[in-house]
Amino acid sequence: MAPSRLDARPIGPQHPRIRELLALRKDASAGRILVEGCWEHNQLLDTPTTIDTFLYCPEAGDARTADAAARVAARGTEVYRISEKLLARLSRRGRPDGLISIARLPAWQPGDFRFDESSLVLVADGVEYAGNLGTLIRTVDACRADCLVLTSRRARLTHPTVYAASRGMVLTTPVLEFDAIPDAAAWLRGHEFDVHLADPGATGSYRATAYRGRPTAFVVGSEGSGLDNRWHQQGFRAVSIPMLGQADSLNVALSAGILLFEARAHKEGW
């Protein structure tokens, strides 16, 4: 019987892949993301994602994680065993289960998309927190929107929290980033989107539009300062979600969910 890829000798903290993983935890690495945990790896296995490196500590897991490890190892470009001590250093969890991978995120370009009147796009401007970015991705998936567009991004897409908060949807949900707000606005105009800016100070309610006949895009702002004024300079209509209590606004991901599902309901006649 051929030896299992999981039977490789353990590697230590000075191995290049360990240094690479530690660097990935701290800084952005173009197109790659850290995946940790059994559930997360099962989500990973349900996609065609390339797994560059898989690190496995069998002593930290059980039969369930061993099964996942065998399947990940079969897909991984490089597979290494690590000790419990090294796992504790690498893990972001209080009770790690022995599975850590570096995977490649899909890359999307502006020309990859085709839209029609049923299309929905969410634009997130200036997102600051990885957890919110991941939740926005999960929300885009949940309402079957076509993609998430990022402008003035602060949270990095490759942050491990994005994977967890998106429930792995960062591997399958198209995410497109523009360096300049006017470029994103021009792309939306070029595809004939009706664009609505989410602004707590706007007088028009988000419920006053039928969201039919053309593709629809919503632009939501950052958690701290809201929409960049350059979005308001594009001439798009602003809408608001009425605040009935003392709070002056909602969490950005919750706002996005309300707006997207309202438009989806109109488009499909719910």
Q: What is the DSSP string of 158-227?
A: T-HHHHHHTTTGGGTS-EEEESSHHHHHHHHHHTT-EEEEE-TT-SSBGGG----SS-EEEEE-BTTTBS
Q: What's the domain range around 183? A: 110-268
Task: Take residue 104 and report the two structure tokens written for it.
Answer: 């490649």
Domain boundary among 87, 104, 121: 104
Q: What is the CATH number of the domain that holds 85?
A: 3.30.1330.30
Q: Which residues of the chain have pLDDT under 70?
A: 1-4, 27-29
pTM for this entry: 0.89
Q: Are residues 229 and 190 in the same domain?
A: yes
Domain boundary among 104, 126, 143: 104
Distance (Å, rounded) from C-alpha 191 to C-alpha 260? 18
Secondary structure class of 239 (helix, strand, coil): strand
**Residue 245 corresponds to which tokens in the numbers above?**
């209590």
- Which of 60, 222, 119 lies closest to 230, judged by CA? 222
Q: Please check whether residue 160 is in contact with residue 168, taking contact to mean a CB–CB distance below 8 angstroms.
A: no
Residues 68-101: tens digit of each pLDDT: 999 999 999 999 999 999 999 999 888 899 999 9
Q: What total of structural domains would you count in the chain?
A: 2
78 and 176 assigned to the same domain: no
d(CA 60, CA 74): 20
Q: Give me the pLDDT at residue 1, please.
A: 35
Cα–Cα dist 179/209, whole Å: 30
pLDDT, tens only, 150-187: 999 888 888 888 999 999 999 999 999 999 999 999 99
Residue 166 sits in the same domain as residue 254? yes
Sheet holding 194-198, edge to edge: 175-178, 147-151, 120-125, 216-220, 194-198, 237-239
